[in-house]
Amino acid sequence: MLKKFVCIICPNGCEISAEVEDGKIISLQGAGCPRGQEYVHQELVNPVRNIASSVLLEGGALPLASVRLSKPVPKDRIFDVMKEIKKAKLTAPVSIGQTVIPHVLGLDSDVIVTKNIPVR
């Protein structure tokens, strides 16, 4: 079966068409780099996405600290992860890379801070 994909790994957004049988890639066309093949494979087996949000910050110069995941998580767990992020709270100061939730929901990904925010 011919399946079409838009690779989201980089801004090139390659349109990839892949001949897929039983979840396996038989042939693949349109990928501008090897990451395209990896992406299609991932999409077939277990699509993953990174998400960004923010966490409430107490005593900071800003009311929110922006966060993202250190690694993408399965697409169907995105809203579960969002619930965990919503529960979290931080106290200023915070800095980029600081872990908010290690291994969120037991997944191989941490919620990390993406902004340096000093105390108010």
Partner 1 sequence: MEQKDVIIIGGGPAGLAAAVELCRRGVRDILILEREETAGGILKQCIHDGFGLTRFHTTLSGPEYAQRFLDETEKENIQILTGTSVLSLTPDRVVTAVGRGGLKHFKAKAVVLAMGCRERTRGALAIPGERPAGVFTAGVAQSYINLHNRMVGKRAVILGSGDIGMIMARRLTLEGAEVSAVFEIQPYPSGLPRNIHQCLEDYGIPLYLSHTVTDIHGKARLTGVTVSQVDEKLKPVPGTEQDFSCDTLILSVGLIPENELSMQAGVQIDPRTKGAVVDEFCRTSVEGIFAAGNVLHVHDLVDFVSLEAERLADSVAEYVKSGSLPENRLSISADKNINHTVPQKISGKNGFTLSLRVSRPLAGCEIQVLQNGKVIQSKKMKKAIPAEMIQIPVSRESLSGNGNLEVRALC
DSSP for the chain reads -EEEEE--SSTT--EEEEEEETTEEEEEE--SSHHHHHHHHHHHH--EE--EEEEEEESBSSSEEEEEESS-EEGGGHHHHHHHHHH-EEES-B-TT-EEETTGGGSS--EEE-S-B-B-
Total site size for partner 1, rule CB under 8 A = 29
Q: Which is nearer to partner 1, 10 or 26 (CB)?
A: 10
What is the smallest separation between the CB atom of 104 and partner 1, expressed in angstroms?
14
8 binds partner 1 (CB under 8 A): yes
Name the residue nearer to partner 1 (CB basis): 18 or 68. Answer: 68
Site string for partner 1, 36-75 (x = CB under 8 A): -------------xxxxxx-x-----xxx-xxx------x
User: Which residues of the chain form contacts with partner 1 (CB under 8 A)?
Assistant: 6-8, 10-11, 13, 15, 30, 49-54, 56, 62-64, 66-68, 75, 78-79, 82, 96, 114-116
